[in-house]
Amino acid sequence: MNRIDALIELDNVRKSFGDVPVLKGISMFVQKGEAVCIIGPSGSGKSTILRCINGLIPVDKGFVRVGAHRVHEMKSERQMRALRHQVAMVFQQYNLFPHRTALENIMMAPIQVLGHDRAEVEERARKLLKKVRLSEKADSYPGQLSGGQQQRVAIARALAMQPDVILFDEVTAALDPETVKDVLFAIRELVEEGLTCILVTHEMKFARDVSQRVCFTDHGLIVESAPPAELFDNPRDPRTREFLGQVL
């Protein structure tokens, strides 16, 4: 794999919270159009990797590049903003803004942050709502939607920024089992359309079906990285085998 061509590049990224090391030298590349899943036991640093990629958490050491942005060199929120326009994120807790309707949640940032034309953004937002099959919920407030519906609005909100990459942080972990399917369906469509995605997930079957590559993390390190068929059916590392033995 050619790291210069990669859209996202992490090299030997280290991060500690206080005295607790969370990332102990993460290196990975993601090509444009690739869907990469990160799996691993909880507390292994999966979500922290995503937060380092879009600069929500500054790294202690190492190299992080997204497109032309050298994230590890950015010191202020102001420098991060161009990066954040390129990298969108969907959260486990949806994090929709409770004081705005579903449609407004999608439209807010493109208008307020990117300064796009309101009419154009509304058209885009309605298309995206349709895409996640929630056209009829445009005027509902987050508190009036189910978890799965909120999460699909959150995905539409991320897409409205027209990002190059979307980071999915355990987006189905807080959902009822019956609504998980709709959310995964929406994500699968995006991957098939060729959007670059990094997904932290517990849904092993989904990871296997949807991704081109799966990374297994344990104790702050990427233990194994391989195409799903290889990693799930023929794991090389004993830690991967043990983990898969527990969850599958």
Partner 1 sequence: MFGLDYSWLADPAYQQWLLTGVINTLKLATLSSSVAILIGMLGAFGLTLRIFWLDALIELFVEVFRNTPPLLQMLFAYFTLSSLGLRVTDPSTGLSVPLLSAFACAAISLSLFGGALAIEAFRSGIETMPRSIIDAARSLGYGRWARFWRIEAPIATRICLPALTNILTNLFKTTSQASVITVPELMYYAGQIYNDTFRTLEVMILVLLIYVVLVSILTFAMARLEAFMAFPGYGRGH
Q: CA-based angle 239:241:242, to the nearest 5?
A: 65
| DSSP reduced 3-state for 232 | helix
- Please identify which residue in 77, 136, 178, 193 interacts with partner 1, judged by CB under 8 A: 77
Please report how close the Cβ of residue 95 comes to partner 1 at its closest, in angstroms: 4
Report the amino acid identity of residue 60. D
Cβ proximity to partner 1, 84 vs 208, nearer residue: 84
How far apart CA 127 and CA 137 sit, in angstroms, is 13
124 makes contact with partner 1 (CB under 8 A): no
Q: How far apart are the first and last CA of the chain?
A: 29
Strands (E), the chain: 8-17, 20-30, 35-39, 61-66, 69-70, 87-90, 165-169, 196-200, 213-218, 221-226
Looking at 45-93, list the stretches that DSSP marks H as alpha helix, in order from N- to C-terminal side: 46-53, 77-86
113 makes contact with partner 1 (CB under 8 A): yes
Pairing of β 196-200 and β 165-169: parallel
Please report how close the Cβ of residue 177 comes to partner 1 at its closest, in angstroms: 22
Residue 77's CB is within 10 A of a number of other CB atoms, namely 9
Cβ proximity to partner 1, 84 vs 239, nearer residue: 84
- Please identify which residue in 28, 109, 197, 231 interacts with partner 1, judged by CB under 8 A: 109
Specify the residue for token string 């159009």: 33
Q: Mask of contacts with partner 1, 33-72, x by CB under 8 A?
A: ------------------x--x-x----------------
Closest alpha carbon to 23 in 3, 52, 65, 64: 52
112 makes contact with partner 1 (CB under 8 A): yes
75 makes contact with partner 1 (CB under 8 A): no
Candidate segments 96-104, 180-188, 215-223, 225-233, binder of partner 1 by CB under 8 A:
96-104
Cβ proximity to partner 1, 111 vs 226, nearer residue: 111
How far apart CA 188 and CA 211 sit, in angstroms, is 9
- Which residues within the stretch 207-246 sit at the binding site for partner 1 (CB under 8 A)? none
How far apart CA 33 and CA 143 sit, in angstroms, is 34
156 makes contact with partner 1 (CB under 8 A): no
Please report how close the Cβ of residue 71 comes to partner 1 at its closest, in angstroms: 13
Candidate segments 23-31, 86-94, 228-236, 237-245, binder of partner 1 by CB under 8 A:
86-94
- Which positions lie near partner 1, rule CB under 8 A? 51, 54, 56, 77-78, 80-81, 84-85, 87-89, 91, 93, 95-99, 108-109, 112-114, 140-145, 157, 161
